[in-house]
Chain A
Amino acid sequence: DADVTQTPRNRITKTGKRIMLECSQTKGHDRMYWYRQDPGLGLRLIYYSFDVKDINKGEISDGYSVSRQAQAKFSLSLESAIPNQTAFYFCATSDLGRLGYTFGSGTRLTVV
């Protein structure tokens, strides 16, 4: 099984719909992150979390919210999806001591 699992892998949704992307990890890492990837822009940080009680906005948090339900679970929500949120979304965890980062396989989200 993958260390960082993202669901769904692909999703097409309509403008205005609420959608949740889920991320779970078996690494035992405290820190988790959500990124968005767009062609030509690289990966940009949406939110990050130190632990269940500590959640912080990243570079592009507008239009997104997150929930850290447990150490192992970190969900990203789009409350009212819009077409320019069409992108690849990646979840990641980190081991601060070893500077090791583990990425999920990503979710391809299309908003029509």
Chain B
Amino acid sequence: AQSVTQLGSHVSVSEGALVLLRCNYSSSVPPYLFWYVQYPNQGLQLLLKYTSAATLVKGINGFEAEFKKSETSFHLTKPSAHMSDAAEYFCAVSEPQAGTALIFGKGTTLSVSS
């Protein structure tokens, strides 16, 4: 079965600083990987997804993620944090044995200070 691990339940950065949110996956087959963002009291919004095309995936709001098979990682980055980036971020993998359901990590809360 697939799984994802998000390292760090809480990350704090200053406005303008690099954002790095870590995600490692476990998969017996080539994975399909996703990053979602959730703002307070809202639903999930897709940031980006990796579907075995380019290993560097660009998403919305200036975020990008790089698929590294050798490291089984799919870390999310943004060069310069903005106050509006404060939210909870989830990494997820598509699980073929569960009807391609998304299996989520436990989430990382990003705080941005001025």
Contacts and interface: CB of A to CB of B under 8 A. Distances in A.
A96 B98 contact: no
Interface string B59-88: 000000000000000000000000000000
A94 B100 contact: yes
A104 B45 CA distance: 10
Contact of B43 (A40, A58, A99, A106): A106
Contacts of A104: 43
Given A40-B9, A41-B106, A48 B46 contact: no
Contact of A99 (B94, B105, B107): B94
Contact of B101 (A33, A42, A106): A33
A103 B42 CA distance: 11
Nearest to B49: A99
B103 A45 contact: yes
Interface of B: 9, 32, 34, 42-44, 46, 49, 51, 90, 92, 94, 98-107
Sorted nearest first, the 8 A-B pairs with minimum C-beta distance are A42-B104, A42-B106, A48-B99, A43-B104, A105-B43, A103-B44, A42-B107, A48-B101
